[in-house]
Amino acid sequence: MVEKIAIDPITRIEGHLAVHIEVDEGRVAGAFCKGEMFRGFETILKGRDPLDAQQITQRICGVCPVSHGMASVLAQEQAYGITPPQNGRLMRNLILGANYIQSHIIHFYHLAAVDFVDLAAIAQYTGKDADLLQFKNWVLAQKASSAVYPGAPFFPRYEGHYLNGTEANTIAIKNYLEGLRMRALAHQMAALFAGKLPHVASLVPGGVTEQVTAQKIAAYGAMLHDLRGFIDQCYLPDVLAVAAAFPDYFKLGKGCGSFLAYGGFLESDDGKDKFLPGGVVNAGKLSALDPGLITEDVRYSFYNSPSGLGPTAGRTEPDPRKQGAYTWLKAPRYQGQVMEVGPLARLLVLYLQGSNAEARRWVDHVVRQLNLKPEDLVSTMGRHAARAIECKLVADRCEHWLAQLKPGAPTCTEFAIPKQAQGQGLCEAPRGALGHWLEIADHKIGHYQCVVPTTWNCSPRDDQGRPGAVEQALIGTPIANAQHPLEAVRVVRSFDPCIACAVH
């Protein structure tokens, strides 16, 4: 008999997501991702000054605002026919790099790792670390005073198998607490060139309005040193430890098997070279990306706009009472195919391209340490490993970009807003491929469309009935206890969903 389970909401993600699964003989046989709100940013932007776009779109998300601002200014720069000077390009990389670091740290430690770490094990801690003792006392107080033990943000949680041993869990909890400080440090580091965070004030078409000084370079470098130490000494070892303790998750959550990346972090002033290259991976083969092949279906989405349109022609026409619809997310497809986006997609493109020896070395190191094959990274646990490897690669590259900055040199290019123009801004948010499409009419925004990472990953079925990437990844997942579907939420959280972005 098929049992229907509603996980609503899935907590410890960005935004409001429900996942309904159908379980047959102890395994997921069907899944439906449901984005449960509509925000209308694309409609808000129509008729506004184009220079409002990079500020308004950053409010789509408080975790990855830099990426939305970046996509917006890239779209505008294409429309205006300009590129930033070297300092502007490098500062953008450093701002976005810091945002990647904080996002990856918060995803593993504060959103996903709690699914694997037994936080209640801290009750057995007998050491003298002040932070751990404070956390232990909090847990014990929650146990004594609450029927729901312990309290938010960690519990209530599902019963199931967690990391074994007081020592292993205590190390993970200590790094969980240290991760909070590291995330704040990454924000402070980015703000040196961003002006402020979470929403960047200095990001404009043509570059960055902040100036480069020796003091800012030194301050960024000192903070980056601490963050790289945490990544090397805590983040990567913790991911390997969890992966070794839960090897079955290299077999679960494999998903659609097709991957897409736009690429990010410009390495040349002409915009052609990228530190993270773009591409499409199908059946383990890498091919070039053609953005003109992107479309969005809406048969199962709460929109009455036509299906199958590309973003340059796509429309945002909400229809909350649409029969047969079950989500506010559209269904993006590339040449009609379901695509997964995110750190795993980027790492596969980078690995298959073969130009980055450090990326290949780290992939080989991880699979050798865990007795895997590279293709095993296409999995729930592989997504965590890919994100940690990418965090290491980006943090190390930030040192290179920092060394190229020139105090006193220009950071912006002048421009004029044309009467009529079009532009597309393709970049990589921490969670995956992000695109903004802009049309200017009579010096104002005539049309604006965003296709964001979680719209790709958590998309519903398309017009042909093909499930989205997360829906496919859930198929076959064993569910030991229908009242505690821990295995399913582990698969979903490996994608780091951002529903706030997806229901923009």
How far is Cα 498 from Cα 217, in angstroms, rounded to an integer? 32
Whether the per-residue pLDDT at 151 is higher than 60: the answer is: no
Look at 119-128, 235-244, 418-427, 483-492 and tell me which has the smallest mean pLDDT: 119-128
For every residue of 320-361, which 3-state class applies, written as one string? Answer: CCCCCCCECCCEEEECCECCECCHHHHHHHHHHHCCCHHHHH
How many domains does the chain divide into?
Answer: 1
The pLDDT value given to residue 1: 84
Domain that holds residue 319: 3-118+162-502
Query: Which pLDDT does position 157 carry in this prediction?
Result: 73
Residue 142: inside a domain, yes or no? no
Q: Is residue 140 part of a domain?
A: no
The pLDDT of residue 343: 98
Average pLDDT along the chain: 95
Q: What is the pLDDT of residue 142?
A: 77
pLDDT(147) > 70: no
pLDDT band for position 478 (cuts 50, 70, 90): very high
Q: Is residue 59 part of a domain?
A: yes
Taking residue 268's Cβ as centre, other Cβ atoms within 10 Å add up to: 11
pLDDT at 283: 94
Residue 171 to residue 165: CA distance in whole angstroms: 10
pTM given for the model: 0.96
Contacting residues for 159 by C-beta, under 8 A, at least 6 apart: 481, 484, 486
How many helices and strands (H and E) does the chain possess? Answer: 15, 15
Pair 370, 337: CB distance under 8 Å: no
What is the pLDDT averaged over residues 430-445? 98
Q: What is the CATH number of the domain that holds 167?
A: 1.10.645.10
Average pLDDT over every residue of 377-390: 98
Dihedral Cα 250, 376, 491, 116, nearest 10 deg: 40
Q: Enumerate the H helices of 370-498 as residue ranges.
A: 380-404, 453-457, 469-474, 486-493
Higher-pLDDT residue of 143, 20 = 20
Domain assignment present for residue 130? The answer is no
**Sequence-ordered list of residues with C-beta below 8 angstroms from that of 299, at least 6 positions apart, any chain:** 307, 324, 325, 331, 461, 462, 463
CA distance 203 to 358: 30
Does residue 156 lie within any of the structural domains?
Answer: no
Residue 154 belongs to a domain: no
H-assigned helices in 84-195: 86-105, 130-145, 166-194
* 157 within a domain of the structure (yes/no): no
In a domain, 439, yes or no: yes
DSSP 209: S
Instruction: Report d(CA 425, CA 253) in Å as an integer.
Output: 30
Return d(Cα 289, Cα 323) in angstroms, integer. Answer: 35
The whole-number pLDDT of residue 307 equals 95
> Average pLDDT in the 420-443 region?
98
- The answer to whether residue 154 scores a pLDDT higher than 70 is no
Taking residue 442's Cβ as centre, other Cβ atoms within 10 Å add up to 8
